[in-house]
């Protein structure tokens, strides 16, 4: 085993939902959304946080991206830059993350900051979506960051987010 925690697989409706969310992530990946989000986040946090790296070997991009922002620190630095430019108070966060509890608190504070910035609560995500390192859950994180980019664009924040709105029809 490679050190990953063993977890019972989903069955029934839980399995169907997880598969659909993974397909949604794959569709966004094909549209270039993760690359647009990574580029935007790296440019905003340049000099204040290590950039999100490119995957090496066969490691999937979503997993590298997820692992890099998992502690919530880069997310908090990102939202604080946006809040400051909007004349709003920054959120509190801990830069040294020594436990899952601290990371999840950072993530919750990021979500609060997104709502203070003007993003609808429906576009936030649960801390477990990021912390659990699951592709299906990470779709919610990607959707949040993608939406945050559009809110920032509506406020003329520079550098501008270059992701595109993707439209799809769920045929099931």
Contact between 9 and 125 under an 8 Å Cβ cutoff? The reply is no
Flag whether 120 is in a domain: yes
Tens of pLDDT, residue by residue over 100-157, are 999 999 999 999 999 999 999 999 999 999 999 999 999 999 999 999 999 999 999 9
For residue 168, is it within any domain?
no
- Counting the structural domains of the chain, the total is 1
The pTM is what?
A: 0.88
Q: Report angle CA 154, 140, 108 to the nearest 5 degrees.
A: 80
Q: What is the pLDDT of residue 142?
A: 97
Report the pLDDT value the prediction gives residue 16, as an integer from 0 to 100.
82
CATH number for the domain that contains residue 43: 1.10.418.10
Task: Tell me the C-alpha distance between 1 and 5, whole Å.
Answer: 9
Ramachandran angles phi, psi of 80, nearest 5°: -65, -35
Query: For residue 17, what pLDDT band results from cuts at 50, 70 and 90?
Result: confident
Residue 60 has pLDDT above 90, yes or no: yes
In a domain, residue 81? The reply is yes
CA distances from 54 to 34, 38, 65, 127, 148 (A): 11, 10, 8, 23, 22
- Does the residue 37 lie in any domain? yes
Domain around 110: 21-154
């Amino acid at each position: 085993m490679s050190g990953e925690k063993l977890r019972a697989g989903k069955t029934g409706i839980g399995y169907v939902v997880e598969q659909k969310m993974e397909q949604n992530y794959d569709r966004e990946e094909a549209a270039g959304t993760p690359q647009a989000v990574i580029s935007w986040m790296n440019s905003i946090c340049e000099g204040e946080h290590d950039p999100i790296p490119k995957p090496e070997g066969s490691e999937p991009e979503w997993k590298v991206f997820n692992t890099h922002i998992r502690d919530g620190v880069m997310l908090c630095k990102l939202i604080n830059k946006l809040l400051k430019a909007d004349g709003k108070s920054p959120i509190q966060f801990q830069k040294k993350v020594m436990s899952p509890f601290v990371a999840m608190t950072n993530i919750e504070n990021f979500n609060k900051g997104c709502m203070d910035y003007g993003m609808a609560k429906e576009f936030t995500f649960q801390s477990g979506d990021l912390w659990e390192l699951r592709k299906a859950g990470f779709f919610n994180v990607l959707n949040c960051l993608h939406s945050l980019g559009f809110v920032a664009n509506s406020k003329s924040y520079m550098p501008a987010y270059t992701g595109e709105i993707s439209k799809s029809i769920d045929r099931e």
